[in-house]
Chain A
Amino acid sequence: MFAFAVKRIVQAVVVMLIISFIGFAIKHNFGDPVRELVGERVTPEERAQIRERLGLNDPFIIQYGRFLAAALQGDLGRSFFFKRPVTEVILSKAPATLELVFCAAIIVIVLSVPMGVYAAIHPRRLLSQIIMGSSIVGVSIPVFLTAIMLIYVFSVELGWLPSFGRGDTVTVFGFWDSGLLTRDGLLHLIMPSIALSSIMLPLFIRLIRSEMLEVLESEYVKFAWAKGLRPRRVWYVHAFKNTLLPVITVGGVQLGIMVAFTILTETVFQWQGMGSMFIESVSRADTALMVSYIVVVGAIFVVVNTLVDLIYGLVNPTVRVAGRQ
């Protein structure tokens, strides 16, 4: 177990290095941050001086080396726009994104499991057809369209839900601004979470359904039927348990993807999390923030996948044996 964990951590560090290198290498293509900092009247000479002061004229390798050296001490640089260390900025934006992903994940789990299982157990029923049909529609509508439609129906036309932002938040543990603890905050969460879950939900329904169908065809399920077990026991205890294995793996990867998908959802809902922060930093060529976001999201991917592997190892011992070799 320990060797497995160490191996994963070394892998993670290599992945992070590569991600940061790529992030750093492409940052020049996003334009000149100095342009975004100064007004139109500032002369090219003065802009050059500002570039020099910020160390933007140094060769790529020196800049990258400086970044790495500072990063090892936990300093990812300063955001030009926010005028604060980027770690501070990202930490202040992370709760918004994580809460959004958390709520969307709950929607996905709570809805996809019963729907997927139902569609597998009763493939021919009308409700199953409806579930499967609408999941195709769901997976093919882009997130931003879903988001805008939600806003127009529920905010503009019906006036039931707030159209943008996080609403009232409460600070817990001294740093975490939570929208989960106020009524207003929860109301603001509804539409963004639905929009964010709209891509993953159909995917998971289909995944659970097909896995479940496969398991229901397997020998041991047939044996269970032959033993004369009650249908509920066969479905929910014998079949469903084994359906979950592949779902956990895919779920881990998808959770990371969901963090990346928040970029669109947050932009449309003016949700002040890491996703909208990233898009804004790209348009402002706020390079330190851009690179750090890529590194942080990369880190989330790596951590989540490592956790999934560990959990999977607990559920399925063959993985653990493979890791020991």
Chain B
Amino acid sequence: MPKLFLRTLILTTVLVFALGTTAQAATLKLAMDADPVSLDPQVQLSGGMLQYSHMVFDPLVRWTPEGDFEPRLAVKWERVNDTTTRFFLRKGVKFHSGNPFTADDVAFTLARLKKSDDFKGLFEYFTEAKAVDTHTVDLITKEPYGLVMAMATYIFPMDKAFYSGTDPENNKPKDLILKTDYSFANFNESGTGPFKVTQREQGVKTTFTRFADYWDKNTGNVSEIIFTPIAEAPTRVAALLSGDVDFIMPVPPADLARVEKTEGLKLVTMSGSRIITFQLNQKRRPEFANPKVRQAMAYAYNNEGVVKKIMKGFATAAAQNSPKGYQGHNPAIQPRYDVNKAKALMQDAGYPNGFECTMIAPNNRYVNDEKLAQAFVSMMSKIGIKISLKTMPKAQYWDQFDAQVADIQMIGWHSDTEDSANFFEYLYMCPDKKTGRGQYNSGNYCNPKVDELTLNSNTETDVAQRSAMLQQIEKILYDDAAYIPLHWQNLSWASKDNMNTADIVNVMNFPYFGDLVIK
């Protein structure tokens, strides 16, 4: 009898243990529209690469949904003086290679960021990261800088020892950043993140395996991610509906309702931060230099109507650039649709019969970009502005955009710094080839007040003061009707309903898959 009892006990224990572990470890089959172009987190500044960075690397700090900073590899931070911020690093963190994580790695990472074509612009205010001791590092800026913490979300420490030395494969340094060719970093990784890349066939499949020595034990339970890029939106949705994958992003607007209604699936959407605008070129068209004409066009454009009819509610109507939650978001500014007022303004401006002009837009860059441009053309015709529109694929669009070949040009902008000043620097400041400011200001809008406020906001470290400045800029741009903002594109994710999807996604669209829990 005791023998039988013992055997039952052992069996039960084994069984419970086995069940327990299988319930713990879970595989996630993930499909996105594209896969990361490289394993080197610094080779390209793009949404896809940052999504990858959050899986395989860890930032010093990361954004919380409320817009605060959450400690990751940095546990706390303090300002030492106007240009120095001190970060205290987490102890006992290991890289995938097994090397310990120290302040030297942070210094190495920032130095490499400053060498990257894509990232050096973002980090131009930084001089260096200086190791104070093994787990303390100072980030030093050229002048007082209001966005040190925001930039710390882009510092994903790389393994200095792993990326040092010469790669026998091509006899070049291992830390070389190469966009189009083989480099050690393009094909090998060692980060501190929750997942290691264990198998990769570019464009076909990437397997991420949970890093056993990951420092954060109090997190998700996904042991493996099998990631497949599925470029065709209907196929991506079908793969989710048929159960071939567990999680997809993005969900095409046409299928939102279907996914939402399907039993066993979960749809998460939120208002995004990419603003879509039409720029009116004042150099090409004297009419656009007249603020009344621009205001008339702003009044003639029905933001809410387009969001409802064309975007199927999958966007948030905008009258400014900064979405809610940004320091520059000015709650007083609302869309102003009023055709009669628009007509009156055209009359005032001296164009009662309107005029003719040209316009270009991409047709595969933003959600419904071509339809949006067509709707704009038909709305402007109501106040007599006859627009001839040409649309083209994005691969051809940007050269045309830079050459300013048309009077009206479409552009969407997501702020890399998650901060309002970025919109103004790139889209609204007076174009200046030397400083690179106003690089995407293809309408040549130029207002010294906007320039001055934007530059001042960069060195202002008091949050309240800074918000006031940025909100003032939004007001000026609105009153001037500098350009026509349309809406912020919404973001969407869909998954099976046995996971905490809503907790890991955010407005930057960098899902924290390390935190995903599958029940």
A interface residue numbers (CB < 8 A to B): 29-32, 35-44, 46, 50, 54, 78, 80-84, 148, 151-152, 155-156, 159, 162-165, 267-270, 272, 276-277, 280, 282-285
Contacts and interface: CB of A to CB of B under 8 A. Distances in A.
A151 B399 contact: no
A46 B201 CA distance: 30
10 contacts: A30-B396, A31-B396, A39-B46, A39-B416, A80-B180, A156-B241, A162-B242, A164-B228, A268-B232, A272-B203
Contacts of A163: 235, 238-239, 242, 244
Contacts of A32: 395, 398-399
B230 A270 contact: yes
Nearest to A276: B231
A283 B393 contact: yes
A50 to B, nearest CB: 7
A164 B122 contact: no
B238 A151 contact: yes
Contact of A42 (B117, B183, B187, B230): B117
Nearest to B121: A41
A84 B395 CA distance: 21
B232 A84 contact: no
B491 to A, nearest CB: 18
A143 to B, nearest CB: 13
A42 B118 contact: yes
Given A156-B241, A165-B228, A280-B231, A39 B399 contact: no
B318 to A, nearest CB: 19
Given A38-B179, A41-B122, A155-B238, A31 B395 contact: yes
Interface string B41-54: 00011100000000
Contacts of B230: 164, 270
Contacts of A36: 395
Given A43-B121, A162-B244, A270-B230, A83 B182 contact: yes
B9 interface: no
Given A31-B395, A163-B238, A37 B179 contact: yes
Given A32-B398, A283-B393, A38 B117 contact: yes
A30 B238 CA distance: 30
A38 to B, nearest CB: 6
B234 interface: yes
Nearest to A283: B395
Contacts of B98: none
B186 A83 contact: yes
Contacts of B109: none
A274 B159 CA distance: 36
Nearest to A79: B180
A281 B374 CA distance: 28
B204 interface: yes
A39 B399 CA distance: 14
Contact of A43 (B203, B234, B395, B436): B436
A46 B243 contact: no
Contacts of A159: 242-243
A41 B238 contact: no
A283 B179 CA distance: 17
B402 interface: yes
Contacts of B187: 83
Contact of A50 (B44, B117, B205, B394): B117
A-B pairs, 8 with minimum CB distance: A31-B395, A39-B45, A155-B242, A39-B118, A41-B121, A31-B396, A80-B180, A285-B395
A31 B400 CA distance: 10
Nearest to B425: A41
B8 interface: no
B118 A272 contact: no
A84 B364 CA distance: 27
B462 interface: no
